[in-house]
């Protein structure tokens, strides 16, 4: 019986030893798994940081050269204006020079419209809109209602749907009383009453 007890003790010790060995192996396995996932997380963090830096560089490059196409389109108009200035010194034909400058201006405006820039000119009498217009002055006007535009000093510009420069205008503050000249009959009545 003693042998049976010893065998049971030995087998219990073996089981405990095996369980301990299994636990150590599981612990090593978990530690290796943790090491693997930690390494993977560090690599992904490094990749993410590299991507951020690359995106930042690309963004800086994009902003640096974003207007390159616009400028390339405007260069011929600049060349034409320089030629017009040279011709102005040599030529007596002012009408031809004026026509050349007008054509160059139209070319510049068309180029800018190609990229989404639009001119707008408020019409006289149109109501003042603070999101489109900037009031430079006010005046009374006999024909335009209060708050209407009486003069346009400068055109406005939109880039796509955003106002980048409001139109500069003069706004009516009320109707101006126009004194009429008295007729001859009214003058005679005034003289008689005096």
State the pLDDT at residue 19.
85
pLDDT in tens, 67-78: 888 889 999 999
pLDDT band at 98 (very low <50, low <70, confident <90, very high): confident
State the pLDDT at residue 108.
92
The rounded distance, in Å, linking the Cα atoms of 194 and 187 is: 11
State the pLDDT at residue 92.
77
State the pLDDT at residue 121.
95
**What is the DSSP code (8-state) at residue 127?**
B
Kind and range of the H or E run holding 150: strand 149-154
Q: Residue 58 half-sphere exposure, CB side, CA atoms within 13 Å?
A: 6
Does residue 172 contact residue 145 with C-beta atoms inside 8 Å? yes
Say yes or no to pLDDT of 52 above 70. yes
Compute the mean pLDDT over every residue in the chain, rounded to the nearest whole number: 86
The CATH class of 117-194 is: mainly beta
Cβ neighbours of residue 161 closer than 8 Å, sequence gap 6 or more: none
pLDDT in tens, 150-182: 999 999 999 998 999 999 999 999 776 555 555
The rounded distance, in Å, linking the Cα atoms of 140 and 113 is: 36
In percent, the amount of the chain with pLDDT more than 90 equals: 56
Q: Is 148 in a helix, a strand, or coil? A: strand
pLDDT in tens, 10-41: 677 777 888 888 889 999 999 999 999 999 99
State the pLDDT at residue 191.
58
pLDDT band at 64 (very low <50, low <70, confident <90, very high): confident
How many Cβ atoms from other residues are within 10 Å of residue 22's Cβ? Answer: 10
State the pLDDT at residue 89.
80
How many Cβ atoms from other residues are within 10 Å of residue 169's Cβ? Answer: 26
Enumerate the H helices of the chain as residue ranges. 2-65, 68-90, 94-114, 184-193
Say yes or no to pLDDT of 106 above 70. yes
pLDDT in tens, 125-141: 999 999 999 999 999 98
Burial of 149 (0-12, 13-18, 19+ CB in 10 A): buried
pLDDT band at 110 (very low <50, low <70, confident <90, very high): very high
Cβ neighbours of residue 177 closer than 8 Å, sequence gap 6 or more: 142
**What is the DSSP code (8-state) at residue 140?**
-
Statement: the pTM of the whole predicted model exceeds 0.95: no
Does residue 156 contact residue 167 with C-beta atoms inside 8 Å? yes
């Amino acid at each position: 019986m003693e042998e049976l007890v010893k065998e049971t003790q030995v087998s219990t010790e073996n089981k405990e030893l095996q369980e301990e060995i299994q636990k150590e192996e599981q612990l090593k396995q978990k530690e290796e798994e943790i090491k693997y996932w930690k390494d993977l997380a560090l690599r992904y963090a490094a990749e993410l940081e590299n991507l951020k830096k690359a995106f930042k560089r690309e963004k800086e490059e994009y902003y640096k050269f974003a207007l390159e196409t616009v400028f390339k389109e405007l260069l011929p108009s600049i060349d034409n204006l320089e030629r017009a200035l040279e011709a102005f010194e040599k030529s007596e034909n002012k009408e031809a020079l004026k026509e050349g400058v007008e054509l160059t201006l139209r070319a510049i405006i068309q180029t800018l419209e190609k990229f989404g820039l639009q001119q707008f000119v408020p019409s006289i009498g149109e109501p003042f809109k603070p999101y489109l217009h900037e009031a430079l002055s006010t005046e009374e006007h006999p024909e335009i209602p209060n708050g209407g535009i009486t003069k346009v000093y400068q055109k406005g510009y939109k880039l796509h749907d955003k106002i980048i420069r409001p139109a500069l205008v003069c706004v009516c503050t009320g109707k101006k009383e126009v004194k009429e000249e008295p007729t001859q009959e009214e003058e005679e009545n005034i003289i008689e009453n005096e």
